[in-house]
Amino acid sequence: MIWRFLNNRLPKFQSLLPVYAVIVFMVYTWTIYAFIRFLPYWLRFLNVTEILAIFSYAMLSDCLESLGFIFLLLVSCVILPARFLRNTFAVRGTVMAVCLLGAIIVYMNGYAKNGTPSLLSYILWSLAILAVAFLLSFLAAKIRFVISAVEWLSSNMTIFLYIYIPLTILSLLNVIFRNI
């Protein structure tokens, strides 16, 4: 009974994969970008093996982070009526992922320049992001052009899974090797 309930509430794998690919792309690419920013600092005193170790830990963290993010979307699928998210998961899931992760990335850049914000502006920003993400994801599934564009984008993003998943496996092996 629970299985049937979940089966009715959770999206199909074909819809899930492109959304996960978008999340993986954003999470991993941000980490690699930040990693490159840090690289000159580490190169001053760490050797290549050590820098690869940091990279491996970061990749594993990204793996958990992307799984956590897709898990949250799946929980939303279960909670919300099927017509809101489950039936249009590829489009609305992608838009939500892009909006939420994109907003965080924009925020990161702002923080890097302006320092830690006040709690109020932080909360307002977070609520605004959520509202915009919900609104855009709602609108996205209503406009045919947007639907096809988002589907095209997310399905093309799956190519990054072929890069980032092996990278994660190699990172896992490196971490296991360093900790045994």
Partner 1 sequence: MFKMTRRDLLKWATFSAGTLLSGAQPAGRPLSNHKNNKPNIFILLFDAMSARHLSLYGYSRRTTPNLERFARRAAVYHSHYSGGNFTTPGTSSILSGMYPWSSRAINLGGLIQRDLAGRNLFSLIGNEYYRVAYSQNLWADLLLRQFNADIDYHFPPSAFKDIDTSANLFLGKATSPDSIMTFYAFDQFLPFGGIKPYKWSGSTSIGYIDNFLRSARKTLGTKSVEYPFGLPFNGWYDFDIPTVLAGVSDLIGKLSAQNQPVFGYFHLWAPHEPMNPRKEFVGIFPETKILKKPHHPLSLYSASLKDYVQLYDRYDSYIAEVDDEFGKLLDHLESAGALENAYFIVTSDHGQLFERGEEYHATPLVYDPIIHIPLLISSPGGMTRQDILTPTSSVDLLPTLLNIVGQPIPRWAEGRLLPGFGGQPDGSRSIFTIEAKDNSAFKPLTEVSISMIKDNLKLIYYKGYQNYNKIFELYDLGNDLEEMHNLYKKDVLTASQLKSELLNALYFADQPFNR
- Chain residues binding partner 1 by CB under 8 A are 26-27, 30-31, 34-35, 37-38, 41-47, 50, 53-54, 57-58, 61-62, 65, 68-69, 101, 104-105, 107-108, 111-112, 115-120, 122, 126, 175, 178-180
Least separation in angstroms between residue 12's CB and partner 1 is: 26
Tell me the residue type at 70. Answer: I
Rg of the chain, C-alpha, whole Å: 18
Q: Which two tokens stand for residue 176?
A: 């296991």
Least separation in angstroms between residue 158's CB and partner 1 is: 20
Distance from C-alpha of 102 to C-alpha of 26, rounded to nearest angstrom: 8
151 CB neighbour count, 10 Å cutoff: 15
Which is nearer to partner 1, 62 or 86 (by Cβ)? 62
In sequence order, what are the residues at sequence separation of 6 or more whose Cβ sits closer than 8 angstroms to the Cβ of residue 58?
31, 35
Least separation in angstroms between residue 7's CB and partner 1 is: 29
Distance from C-alpha of 50 to C-alpha of 46, rounded to nearest angstrom: 6
Which is nearer to partner 1, 12 or 178 (by Cβ)? 178
Q: Which two tokens stand for residue 83?
A: 């017509």
Which is nearer to partner 1, 3 or 45 (by Cβ)? 45
Least separation in angstroms between residue 43's CB and partner 1 is: 7
